[in-house]
Amino acid sequence: MTAHPRLGVCYYPEHWDEDLWATDARAMAELGISRVRIGEFTWSHIEPHPGRFDWEWLDRAVETLAGENLGIIMGTPTACPPKWLVDRHPEILACDARGQQRKFGSRRHYCFSSPVYRDEAARIVTAMASRYGSHHAVVAWQTDNEYGCHDTTISYSAAAAEAFRNWLKLRYENIQALNKAWGTVFWSQEYEDFAQIDPPCSTVTEATPAHRLDYWRFSSDQVASFNAMQVDILRRLSPGRDIVHNFMGFYTEFDHFAVARDLDVAAWDSYPLGFTEQFWFSEPQKREYMRQGHPDIAAFHHDLYRGCGRGRMWVMEQQPGPVNWAAFNPAPLPGMVRLWTWEAIAHGAEIVSYFRWRQVPFAQEQMHAALNLPNNKPDVAYLEVRQVTEEISRLAPLPTADIAPVALVFSYEADWLLQIQPQAKTFRWLRLAFEMYEGLRNLGLDVDIVPEDHDLSPYKLVIVPSLPIADNKFANALQQLSVPVLLGPRSGSKTTNLAIAPELPPGSLSALTGVTITRVESLAPRWKETVHVKERVFHGLTWREHIETSLSPLAAFSDGSGAWYRKDHIEYLATWPDQEFLHYILSELALRAGLGVQNRDSGVRTRDKGMIRFAFNYSTERRKAPAPPNAEFLLGAQDMPPASVSAWRLISK
Ligand code: GAL
C-alpha cells in the first residue's frame, strides 16, 4: 500500500485583517500546503451575543481558502466558552482540587460534567456543522482542542460530584459493594448512601486510593462521552469527513485509546523542544538536545497515537521555532523542522500541519514562532517546509508502514494508579514506559505502542513496562504467545479496586511468571541497588522487589536474591533498570526474539516505511547513516550533517 503525505497549517483568519486572507491562502498553496485548520477558538467571534450568529466573516474565510483548493480542517470552538455564556451560567466552570472555581480569561475553563455546558457545546457544534458540514472544502473536523490542556481533565465542581455519584451507582449498584471495593471500613469512612459521596479532594491527608482511582476513571469517561457527543453531531451533519482530535505530548490524564475509539484519526501536537525542557530529562540530555529535542520524544508519540488511531495518525500542530510556554524556549537547529516532518511521515503521519501560519503580535502567544514573522516575511521554518514539499512531490507516493517487530503495551490506568500510589516520589509509570521505548529505539528497533487488549500475536517481542492491574484475559493472552515477553516491576500487583492482589503480586501473572513478591522497597535517587549479571555489574533504581521462587535468577542483587527471572517465554523484572541494565536486558530479549540490533547511541534514529529506511541525525555532529555502501539514497547521503535526514531503499529486510 502507498499513500501521499500532506502538509497543513493552523490559521486564524479572525486574528488578521481581511485584506491579508487571499494572499495568505495563495501563499499557502504555493508553498505546497494542502490542508488548513481553522475555527477552534472562534466562539465569541461567531456568536458574539447569545443566539446572534455572525457567520459572514467565517463564510468569506472558508471561500477564500477553498478558492485556493485548500482542504479545511474545521475545529469545533468548545475549548473557549465565551464571556456571556460564563456570566449566564457560571456553573459551567470547572473547579480545581481546592474547590476553587476556574475563572474566565484564558481557555479550557469549562467542566466536562456540566450538563448545561454539554447542551451549549452541542448547540454550537450543531450550528457550525449545519453551516459548513456539507461544504466541499471542509474535509475534516477537529473536536474541541487538546482535551485536558492546562490541567483540565479532572474537575471538582458540583456538576462533577453529581455525575460521579451516578457513575458510581452504575458501577457498584449498591453502597455495600462500594464500601467493600474501596475498603471504607479503614479510618471509619463507611457510606450509607451514594448521595453522601464527594469527589476525593481537600481531605486532610491522602483520600482513599480506590476512591481516587475511580474518580480518575470517571473523569476519563467524561472526556470520552463529551467527545462522543460532538462526534455524533458531526457524523450526522457532515458525513464522509474524517473526525480527529489533537491530543498532547506526555499527557495521560484520560484514556486516549477510549477517546480515540470514536474518532477516525488520532492527531497530536508535537513540540519536541518544549517537551524536552518540561519533562524528566537530565541536565546533560537537556543540554545535548536543547535545539533538537530528545531523539525519542516525537517518535514515541507518533507510535502511541498511531496505536490510538488504529493505524491512522496526523500531526496537527508541529513546532516551527521557539515556543512561548516552556521554562526556556530555544530555537530549533536549522533543519529540525524538516527532520521532524520527515520523521512523522516515516512513522505513519498522513498529515503534518504546522502551528501556525504567522506569528501573532498580540495576546498570550505573541512570543511563539510561526512559518512567517509578524511582518509577513518568511521565518526559518517556511524555507524548510518549502524543501519538504519539493521532496514529497519527488518521492510520493510512499509505502505505508508495516506492523513493527516490537509491541510496547501502554496503559493509561497504570499511570493513574501509580501516580495515586507511587510509593517512591520518583516512580512515574510514563517515564518507565518511555525509557523502555528509548532503549528499544537505541537498538534500532521499530515499535508499535498498543493497548493491553490489542492482538499481540503478530509481534516478535512484547514489552510490558508495568501493568499493575492485569486481568486473567491479559494473562491468558500472554500465555498463548511463544515470543519473548518482558513484564516490568509492579505488574499484576493490584486488583481492580487498587488493593494488593490476594495471592500476593504479581497476582494473575503469578503462574505465568513463577514468582511471588513478598516485599517491596522504594529507593531515593541517592541509592542504587547493585545488580550482577554474569560478570557484569548494573544498577536498579527507585524500586526493588523481594521474590520467592524456585527459578534461578538471570540477574541478582548483591545479597543474591533475584532481580530478573525467566520462565519459558515470560520474563519478570523486579527493579527499575538503569540505562545500561535496560540496554543489556533489551539486547538479550531482541537476540532471543531473532531481531537484529544495532546500537544507535549516537543520536541517530532509524525507521522503516515499507522498503524505505529513514535515518534522522539528532546529534550536533556529523554521523554516518547506517546504510550499506551500495545504498540507493532517496534523501540525503551516507554522510549526515547535524539535524539531517537520509533515506534509502532496502533490498531485503
Ligand atoms: C497547543 C495548543 C495551541 C497553541 C500551541 C502553542 O498546546 O493547541 O492552541 O496554544 O499549543 O504551542
Domains along the sequence of the chain with CATH:
158-211 (no CATH), 406-592 (3.40.50.880), 604-649 (2.60.40.1180)
Cα 503 from chain centroid (whole Å): 34
* 539 neighbors 531 (Cβ within 8 angstroms): yes
Query: What pLDDT sits at residue 439?
Result: 97
The set of residues, in sequence order, having a beta carbon less than 8 Å from that of 65 and lying 6+ positions away, is 11, 21, 25, 36, 38, 72, 137
Residue with cell 505505508: 400
Ranges of residues in the chain whose predicted pLDDT is under 70: 600-601
Mark residue 296 as left, alpha or beta (left: phi above 0; alpha: psi -120 to 50; beta: remaining).
alpha
Burial class of residue 106, CB neighbours in 10 A (0-12, 13-18, 19+)? exposed
DSSP class of residue 360 equals -
Ligand 1 centroid–CA 324 distance in Å is 9
What is the C-alpha separation between 295 and 286, in angstroms, rounded? 11
Q: Of all atoms in ligand 1, which is nearest to the CA of residue 325?
A: 12
Q: Which helix (H) or strand (E) holds 171?
A: helix 158-172
For the chain, the first-to-last Cα distance in angstroms comes to 17
* 569 neighbors 457 (Cβ within 8 angstroms): no
Give strand ranges (E) for 579-619.
Answer: 604-609, 612-617
Vertex 565, ends 563 and 570: CA angle to 5°?
A: 140
Burial class of residue 492, CB neighbours in 10 A (0-12, 13-18, 19+)? buried
What is the C-alpha separation between 155 and 115, in angstroms, rounded? 14
Protein residue with least CA distance to atom 5, ligand 1: 355
Ligand 1 centroid–CA 76 distance in Å is 15
Protein residue with least CA distance to atom 1, ligand 1: 269
DSSP class of residue 49 equals B
Ligand 1 centroid–CA 442 distance in Å is 30
Here the cell at position 588 is: 538479550
The set of residues, in sequence order, having a beta carbon less than 8 Å from that of 507 and lying 6+ positions away, is 470, 492, 493, 494, 495, 501
Query: What pLDDT sits at residue 609?
Result: 94
Q: Of all atoms in ligand 1, which is nearest to the CA of residue 274?
A: 12
Q: Of all atoms in ligand 1, which is nearest to the CA of residue 319?
A: 12
The answer to whether residue 146 is catalytic is yes
Residue with cell 456553573: 91
What is the C-alpha separation between 391 and 336, in angstroms, rounded? 15
Ligand 1 centroid–CA 366 distance in Å is 12
The set of residues, in sequence order, having a beta carbon less than 8 Å from that of 534 and lying 6+ positions away, is none
- Return phi, psi of residue 294, to 5°: -60, 135
Query: What pLDDT sits at residue 653?
Result: 72
Query: What pLDDT sits at residue 401?
Result: 78
Ligand 1 centroid–CA 140 distance in Å is 19
What is the C-alpha separation between 653 and 650, in angstroms, rounded? 7
Ligand 1 centroid–CA 149 distance in Å is 9
Query: What pLDDT sits at residue 599?
Result: 74
- The per-residue b/e assignment along 533-559, b for 16 or more CB within 10 angstroms, e otherwise, is beeeebbbbbbbbebebeeebbbbbee
What is the C-alpha separation between 575 and 561, in angstroms, rounded? 12
* 231 neighbors 143 (Cβ within 8 angstroms): yes
Task: Quickly count: other Cβ atoms within 10 Å of residue 56's Cβ.
Answer: 9
Ligand 1 centroid–CA 317 distance in Å is 8
- Number of residues that this document lists for the chain: 653
Dihedral Cα 403, 407, 411, 415, nearest 10 deg: -130
**Which residue is catalytic, options 47, 68, 120, 146?**
146
Residues having CB closer than 6 A to ligand 1 are: 145-146, 149, 269, 271, 317, 323, 325, 355, 365, 368
**Which residue is catalytic, options 317, 343, 452, 529?**
317
Query: What pLDDT sits at residue 602?
Result: 85
Here the cell at position 47 is: 456568536
Task: Quickly count: other Cβ atoms within 10 Å of residue 94's Cβ.
Answer: 24
* 90 neighbors 125 (Cβ within 8 angstroms): no
DSSP class of residue 507 equals G
Query: What pLDDT sits at residue 629?
Result: 87
Protein residue with least CA distance to atom 2, ligand 1: 146
Q: Of all atoms in ligand 1, which is nearest to the CA of residue 324?
A: 12
Ligand 1 centroid–CA 378 distance in Å is 21
* 252 neighbors 430 (Cβ within 8 angstroms): yes
- Return phi, psi of residue 139, to 5°: -100, -15
Vertex 187, ends 182 and 192: CA angle to 5°?
A: 60
Query: What pLDDT sits at residue 197?
Result: 98
Query: What pLDDT sits at residue 598?
Result: 85
Residue with cell 495568505: 24
Task: Quickly count: other Cβ atoms within 10 Å of residue 342's Cβ.
Answer: 25
Residue with cell 507516493: 397
What is the C-alpha separation between 337 and 325, in angstroms, rounded? 18
The candidate with the shortest Cα–Cα distance to 85, out of 40, 119, 120, 53, is: 120
The set of residues, in sequence order, having a beta carbon less than 8 Å from that of 202 and lying 6+ positions away, is 97, 98, 99
On the question of a cis peptide bond just before residue 235, with omega within 30 degrees of 0, the verdict is no
The answer to whether residue 621 is catalytic is no
